[in-house]
Amino acid sequence: LKAATGLSVIAAFEHEFHIADGSFAPAHSMSFAALRRTDPFAPNLMAALEEAGVGPEVVIAEFGNEQFEVTHEPADALTAADRAVAIREITREVARNAGWRASFAPKIAPNAVGNGVHIHFSFV
């Protein structure tokens, strides 16, 4: 691409996932209360991602109960793909260390909000 057009691809992934231990009470979606309920999960996840060199941007509460989102800073396409895999594995491990389970499954239950992964890319 670079040789033919002079352009390169940069990309970033946005992962949605659920964490659960079975005892969470519903909190307003996308709220600080939903994020605080799992404290210190988000800071621990950010620290682990930073330590791994993933370049995390944010961990936030998403629309569904027990649903969260994590993003990383844009990078070249191969680095972004590597970061996407690392984010999933590190998120699962941080959740496991807290006694929870992180699921990136599209639907964790028939009535649950779905998880997705969005890819943001630009030609530069």
Q: pLDDT of 32-82, one tens digit each?
A: 676 677 778 999 999 999 999 999 999 998 988 889 999 999 999 999 999
- Residue 113 resides in a domain: yes
Question: b/e for 106-120, b at 16 or more Cβ within 10 A?
Answer: eebeeebbebeeeee
> Based on the structure, what is the number of domains in the chain?
1
CATH number, residue 15: 3.30.590.10
- Residue 105 resides in a domain: yes
Q: What gap in Å lies between CA 32 and CA 110, rounded to an integer?
A: 26
- Residue 87 resides in a domain: yes
How many other C-beta atoms can be found within 10 angstroms of the C-beta atom of residue 28? 10
pTM of the predicted protein model: 0.86
- Residue 70 resides in a domain: yes
Compute the residue count for the chain. 124
Instruction: Give residue 18's domain range.
Output: 8-123
